[in-house]
């Protein structure tokens, strides 16, 4: 009989060899009961796919809405006189100086800016009067900034050298029962508090799609507005567009710094349109809550699968303990199994979600029919698009992984406490 050569290296603890063994065992165990793990894998993939898809649609559509709405109506960032936000009035207008223009043009993240002067007035023609809002704009800035000039239905938009001309909202136009070329009277309170009236010629009819505006908007050249309202060289807002939404915090911070001494406030769209921001937050929160429930439900399934799997192998685990495995080794092996399955499911779900999101980004869905009316309230095309932001995939992956492990903790704990004899079957 051949003698065994005594190994001198019978010492413990070569970690990589251990780990390789555990991983091997875990991997092979996963394939043992294919059906059960396939169902678990499908459930995980389903939950991950849906989460990625829904978050993609939510975030992508928000970005689209933010750009669309803020773009024209509030700008991504706005400069106002301090205090204007709470109490908008001509008294809180400020001087549109060259220094200001210089500061704005020198910032490379700012791709366009538009000065505006807003004021509420009464507009009348032939015995009919309505409340209106003057949008004193600089046509050359607006061309780069908003889409207004594209929404003209009749006539034309203002020219850079327009004087005494106005373009009014669709509904207002209809209500006044006038035609292009007619003259109307505007009555308003100027910067000095005095009431003035002045005649203007209507050169265009515009349909913005935002009913509240179409009822009241009166576009005129900034210079005209400044003259009419005794606001020489003053504006009430400067709207700013940036190269990307992500630049908002940094630009806001640097502008605030530079404009501190002028008594001006720099606000993001979130502050100028808080109800809009909150709608987004609300939708965001409900979305996350819903998906959380989804993931938890799938996690229950994981719990069951892992429990069953551990229970069925009690005998084998008992023997392993007998020959020298430690309980924590076994726990690690089963943990690896859970992670394998979760990762495969997560990967697949992410992949599928990525495909769908990518498709939606390239081909946004236009909501047709009756929904157009809803969105016309807010003035833009109703669209569903998606997003490929990495954090969607990363957050989903981490959540699913974390919950899978948490829901496996109980069966793993039982395994940790297993005694060899309790596992091994007595015949």
Partner 1 sequence: MLLKLAWRNIWRNKRRTLVVLTSVVVGVVALLLVDTLSVGMLKQMVDNQINYHISHIQIHRKGFSEDKAIEKHIKDYLKVDSVLSSYSQIKIYSKRVISYGLINSAYSSSGVLIVGVEPWVEKDFTMISKSIVQGRYISSDGEILIGLKLAEKLNLKIGDRAVLMVSDLNGNLISNVFRVVGIYQSPSVNFDKVYIYITLKDAQNLFNLGDSVSEFAILLYKAELVNSFKEELSKALGDEYEILTYFEIGPFIRIMIDMYMEFIWIYYLIIGVAVMFGVINIMLMSIFERVKEFGVLKALGMKDSKIFSLIVLESLLIGSLGTLIGLLFGFILYVPLSRSGINLGVFSESLALFGSGRIIYPVLTPFTLFLLLFTMPFISFIASIYPGIKSLRLKPIDALKYI
Partner 2 sequence: MQVIKTENLTKVYMENKIPIVALKGVSLEVQSGEFVVIAGPSGSGKTTLLNLIGGLDVPTNGKIYLEGQDITQMKRGKLAEFRLKRIGFVFQTYNLIPVLTAFENVELPLVLLGVPEKERRERVMEILKILGIDELAYKKPNEMSGGQQQRVAVARAMVTNPAIVLADEPTAHLDSKTGANLIEMMRNLNQEMGTTFIICSHDPNVIQQAGRLIKLKDGIIEYDEKKI
Footprint of partner 2 (CB under 8 A): 1-7, 9-14, 17-18, 21, 24-25, 28-29, 31-32, 315-316, 319-327, 329, 419-421, 424-427
Q: How far is the CB of 326 from partner 1 (least distance, A)?
A: 23
Q: Which is nearer to partner 2, 31 or 293 (CB)?
A: 31
φ, ψ at 197 (rounded to 5°): -130, 155
Nearer to partner 1, 139 or 345 (CB): 345
Closest CB to partner 1 among 261 and 275? 275
Interaction partner, residue 406 (partner 1, partner 2, none; CB < 5-8 Å by kind): none
For partner 2, which is the closer residue by CB, 89 or 327?
327
Nearer to partner 1, 91 or 328 (CB): 91
Question: Residue 33: what are its φ and ψ, rounded to 5°?
Answer: -115, 75
Q: Which is nearer to partner 2, 4 or 293 (CB)?
A: 4
- Tell me how far CA of residue 146 lies from CA of 65, 71, 374, in angstroms: 14, 7, 22
Rule CB under 8 A: choose which of 305, 357, 387, 399 binds partner 1: 305
Annotate each residue in 101-140 with x if it binds partner 1 (CB under 8 A) or - if it does not, as one string. Answer: -------------------xxx-x-xxxxxxxx-------
From partner 1, partner 2, none, interface partner of 21 (C-beta below 5 to 8 A by class): partner 2
> Min. distance of Cβ 11 from partner 2 in angstroms?
6
Residues 314-373 that bind partner 1 (CB under 8 A): 370-371, 373
Residue 414 binds which entry of partner 1, partner 2, none, with Cβ cut-offs from 5 to 8 Å by kind?
none
Give the residue with the Cβ less far from partner 1, 41 or 325. 41
Task: Confirm or reject binding of residue 383 to partner 1 (CB under 8 A).
Answer: no
Interface stretch with partner 1, choices 243-251, 276-284, 327-335, 392-400 (CB under 8 A): 276-284
58 near partner 1 (CB under 8 A): no
Which of partner 2, partner 1, none interacts with 11 (beta carbon under 5 to 8 A by kind)? partner 2
Backbone φ, ψ for residue 391 (5° rounding): -65, -20
- Closer residue to partner 2 in complex, CB, 198/424: 424
325 binds, among partner 1, partner 2, none (CB under 5 to 8 A by kind): partner 2
Nearer to partner 2, 3 or 98 (CB): 3
Kindly report the length of the chain.
427
Taking the complex as a whole, the smallest distance from the CB of residue 411 to partner 2 amounts, in Å, to 19
- Beta carbon of residue 41, minimum distance to partner 2 (angstroms, whole number): 18
- Binders of partner 1 among residues 67 to 86 (CB under 8 A) are 86
In the complex, the smallest distance separating the C-beta of residue 21 from partner 2, rounded to whole angstroms, is 5
Three-state SS sequence of the chain: CCCCCCCCCCCCCCHHHHHHHHHHHHHHHHHHCHHHHHHHHHHHHHHHHHHHHHHHHHHHHHHHHHHHHHHHHHCCEEEEECCCCCCCCHHHCEECCHHHHHHHHHCCCEEEEEEEEEEEEEEEECCEEEEEEEEEECHHHHHHHCCHHHHEEEECCCCCCCCCEEEEEHHHHHHHCCCCCCEEEEEEECCCCCEEEEEEEEEEEECCCCHHHHCCEEEEEHHHHHHHCCCCCEECEEEEEECCHHHHHHHHHHHHHHHHHHCEEEEEHHHHCHHHHHHHHHHHHHHHHHHHHHHHHHHHHHHHHHHHHHHHCHHHHHHHHHHCCCHHHHHHHHHHHHHHHHHHHHHHHHHHHHHHHHHHHHCCEECCCCHHHHHHHHCCCCEECCCCCHHHHHHHHHHHHHHHHHHHHHHHHHHHCCCHHHHCCCC
Of the candidates 42, 68, 343, 405, which one interacts with partner 1 according to CB under 8 A? 42
């Amino acid at each position: 009989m051949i003698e065994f050569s005594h190994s001198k290296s019978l010492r413990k603890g070569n970690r990589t060899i251990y780990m390789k063994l555990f991983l091997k065992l875990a991997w092979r165990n996963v394939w043992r009961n294919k059906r059960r793990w396939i169902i678990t894998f499908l459930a995980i993939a389903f939950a991950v796919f849906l989460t990625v898809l829904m978050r993609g649609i939510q975030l992508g559509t928000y970005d689209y809405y933010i750009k669309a709405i803020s773009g024209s109506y509030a700008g991504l960032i706005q400069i106002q006189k301090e205090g204007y936000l709470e109490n908008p009035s001509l008294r809180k207008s400020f001087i549109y100086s060259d220094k200001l223009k210089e500061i704005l043009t020198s910032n490379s993240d700012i791709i366009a800016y538009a000065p505006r002067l807003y004021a509420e007035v009464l507009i009348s023609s032939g015995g009919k009067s309505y409340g209106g809002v003057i949008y004193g704009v600089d046509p050359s800035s607006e061309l780069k900034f908003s889409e207004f000039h594209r929404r003209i239905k009749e006539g034309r938009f203002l020219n850079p050298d327009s004087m005494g001309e106005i373009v009014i909202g669709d509904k207002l136009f209809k209500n006044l029962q006038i035609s292009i070329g007619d003259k109307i009277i505007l009555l308003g309170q100027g910067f000095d508090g005095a009431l003035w009236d002045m005649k203007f010629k209507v050169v265009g009819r515009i349909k913005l799609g935002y009913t509240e505006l179409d009822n009241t908007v009166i576009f005129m050249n900034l210079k005209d507005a400044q003259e009419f309202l005794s606001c020489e060289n003053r504006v009430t807002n400067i709207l700013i567009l940036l190269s990307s939404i992500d630049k908002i915090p940094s630009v806001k911070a640097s502008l605030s710094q530079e404009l501190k001494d002028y008594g001006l406030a720099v606000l993001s769209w979130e502050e100028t349109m808080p109800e809009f921001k909150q709608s987004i937050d609300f939708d965001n929160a409900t979305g996350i809550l819903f998906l959380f429930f989804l993931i938890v439900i799938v996690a229950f399934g994981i719990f069951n699968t892992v429990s069953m799997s551990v229970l069925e192998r009690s005998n084998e685990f008992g023997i392993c303990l007998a020959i020298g495995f430690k309980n924590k080794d076994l726990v690690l092996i089963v943990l690896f199994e859970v992670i394998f399955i979760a990762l495969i499911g997560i990967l697949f779900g992410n992949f599928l979600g990525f495909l769908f999101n990518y498709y939606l980004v390239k081909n946004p869905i236009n909501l047709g029919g009756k929904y157009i009316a809803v969105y016309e309230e807010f003035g833009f095309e109703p669209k569903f698009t998606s997003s490929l932001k990495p954090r969607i995939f990363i957050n989903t992956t981490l959540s699913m992984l974390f919950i899978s492990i948490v829901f496996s903790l109980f069966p793993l704990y039982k395994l940790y406490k297993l005694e060899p004899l309790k596992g091994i079957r007595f015949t």
